Amino acid sequence: MARMSRMKSKGWMLVMAGIMMQGCSDSPPPPESAGDAAEVTGAAAAADNPFFAVSPLPLQYPPFDRIREEHYVPAFERGMSEQLAEIDAIVSQTAEASFANTVVPLEVSGQLLNRVSTVFFSMSSAHTNEAIQAIETDISPRLSAHYDAILLNPGLFARVRAVYEQRESAGLDPESLRLLEETWRDFVRAGAELDTAEQERLRAINTELSELETRFSQNVLDEVNRSAIVVESREELTGLTAAEIQRAADAAAARDLPGKYVIPLTNTSGQPALVTLQNRALRQRIMEASLVRGSSGGEFDNTAIVSRVAALRAERAQLLGYPHYAAYVLEKQTARTPEAANARLAAMIGPAIRNAEREAADLQQQIRAEGVDFQLAAWDWSYYAEKVRQQRYSFDETQLKPYFELDNVLLKGVFFAAGQLYGISFRERNDLPVYQEDVRVFDVLEADGSQLGLFLFDPFARPSKQGGAWMNDYVPQSQLLGTRPVVANHLNIPKPPAGEPVLLTFDEVITAFHEFGHALHGLFSAVNYPSLSGTSVPRDFVEYPSQVNEMWATWPDVLRNYAVHYQTGEPMPQDLLDKALAAQQFNQGFATSEQLMASITDMALHQLAPDAVPAADELLQFEADTLTAAGANLDMLPPRYRLPYFSHIMGGYAAGYYSYIWSEVLDADTVEWFKRSGGMTRENGQHFRDTLLSRGGSADALGLFVDFKGAEPDVTPLLIRRGLN
In a domain, 137, yes or no: yes
Answer yes or no: is pLDDT of 11 > 70. no
In Å, how far from its chain's centre is CA 265?
18
Contacts of 38 (CB under 8 A, 6+ apart): 134, 138
Structure confidence by residue, pLDDT tens digits, 627-673: 999 999 888 999 999 999 999 898 788 999 999 899 999 999 999 99
In a domain, 228, yes or no: no
What pLDDT shows up at residue 396?
78
- Number of other residues whose CB lies within 10 A of the CB of residue 599: 29
Q: Are residues 30 and 160 in the same domain?
A: yes
In a domain, 630, yes or no: yes
In a domain, 303, yes or no: yes
Cα(326)–Cα(317) distance, integer angstroms: 8
Answer yes or no: is pLDDT of 444 > 70. yes
Which has the closest alpha carbon to 604: 628, 582, 584?
628
Q: Are residues 574 and 637 in the same domain?
A: no
Answer yes or no: is pLDDT of 21 > 50. no
What pLDDT shows up at residue 39?
45
In a domain, 135, yes or no: yes
Answer yes or no: is pLDDT of 8 > 60. no
Domain count, the chain: 3
Answer yes or no: is pLDDT of 226 > 90. no
Q: Are residues 284 and 191 in the same domain?
A: no
Cα(409)–Cα(550) distance, integer angstroms: 13
Structure confidence by residue, pLDDT tens digits, 35-67: 444 344 444 446 699 999 999 999 999 999 999
Q: Are residues 640 and 581 in the same domain?
A: no
Q: Structural domain of residue 14, as residue ranges?
A: 6-214
What pLDDT shows up at residue 99?
98
Answer yes or no: is pLDDT of 155 > 50. yes
Polymer length in residues for the chain: 725
Three-state secondary structure of 554-571:
HCHHHHHHHCECCCCCCE
In a domain, 611, yes or no: yes
Which has the closest alpha carbon to 455: 523, 525, 372, 385?
523
pLDDT level of residue 393 (50, 70, 90 thresholds)? confident
Cα(638)–Cα(597) distance, integer angstroms: 8
Structure confidence by residue, pLDDT tens digits, 103-154: 999 999 999 999 999 999 999 999 999 999 999 999 999 999 999 999 999 9
What pLDDT shows up at residue 14?
43
Q: Are residues 281 and 386 in the same domain?
A: yes
User: What one-character-per-residue DSSP string does 426-476 give?
Assistant: EEEESSS--SSTT-EEEEEE-TTS-EEEEEEEEEE--TTS-SS-EEEEEE-
The CB-based long-range contact list for 686-689 (8 Å cut-off, 24+ gap) reads: 686/422, 686/423, 688/421, 688/548, 689/422, 689/524
Answer yes or no: is pLDDT of 34 > 70. no
Strand duo 486-493 + 229-231: pairing: unpaired
Q: Are residues 277 and 180 in the same domain?
A: no
What pLDDT shows up at residue 28?
29
Q: Are residues 418 and 481 in the same domain?
A: yes
In Å, how far from its chain's centre is CA 325?
21
Answer yes or no: is pLDDT of 270 > 70. yes
In a domain, 255, yes or no: no
The DSSP symbol for 99 reads I
Answer yes or no: is pLDDT of 1 > 70. no
List beta partners, residue 444. 426, 453
| Contact present, 544 and 663 (Cβ < 8 Å) | yes
Which has the closest alpha carbon to 589: 360, 275, 291?
360
Helix axes 111-126, 130-151, angle to 10 degrees: 140
Answer yes or no: is pLDDT of 10 > 70. no
Q: Which residues are catalytic?
A: 515
Cα(688)–Cα(674) distance, integer angstroms: 10
Burial class of residue 472 (count of CB atoms within 10 Å of its CB; 0-12, 13-18, 19+): buried
Structure confidence by residue, pLDDT tens digits, 71-103: 999 999 999 999 999 999 999 999 999 999 999
Identify the weakest region by mean pLDDT among 213-217, 406-410, 515-519: 213-217
Q: Are residues 386 and 425 in the same domain?
A: no
3-state percent breakdown (helix, strand, coil) of the chain, nearest 5: 55, 10, 35
CATH number at residue 558: 1.10.1370.40
Helix axes 588-605, 659-676, angle to 10 degrees: 130
| Contact present, 642 and 584 (Cβ < 8 Å) | no
Backbone angles phi, psi at 404, to 5 degrees: -120, 65
Q: What angle do CA 640, 397, 358 make, to 5 degrees?
A: 55
Q: Are residues 66 and 166 in the same domain?
A: yes
CATH number at residue 345: 1.10.1370.10
Answer yes or no: is pLDDT of 510 > 70. yes
pLDDT level of residue 13 (50, 70, 90 thresholds)? low
Q: Are residues 361 and 301 in the same domain?
A: yes
User: What one-character-per-residue DSSP string does 240-297 give?
Assistant: B-HHHHHHHHHHHHHTT-TT-EEE---SSSS-GGGGT---HHHHHHHHHHHHTTTSSS
Q: Are residues 35 and 107 in the same domain?
A: yes
| Contact present, 539 and 652 (Cβ < 8 Å) | yes
Structure confidence by residue, pLDDT tens digits, 312-334: 999 999 999 999 999 999 999 99
If you average pLDDT over every residue of the chain, what do you get? 91
Which has the closest alpha carbon to 713: 664, 679, 678, 680?
664
Where is pLDDT greater, at 61 or 9? 61
Q: Are residues 29 and 115 in the same domain?
A: yes
Structure confidence by residue, pLDDT tens digits, 541-565: 999 999 999 999 999 999 999 999 9
| Contact present, 261 and 249 (Cβ < 8 Å) | yes
Answer yes or no: is pLDDT of 433 > 90. yes
In a domain, 724, yes or no: no
Domain boundary among the residues 214, 236, 253 is at 214
What pLDDT shows up at residue 715?
86
Structure confidence by residue, pLDDT tens digits, 229-249: 999 999 999 999 998 999 899
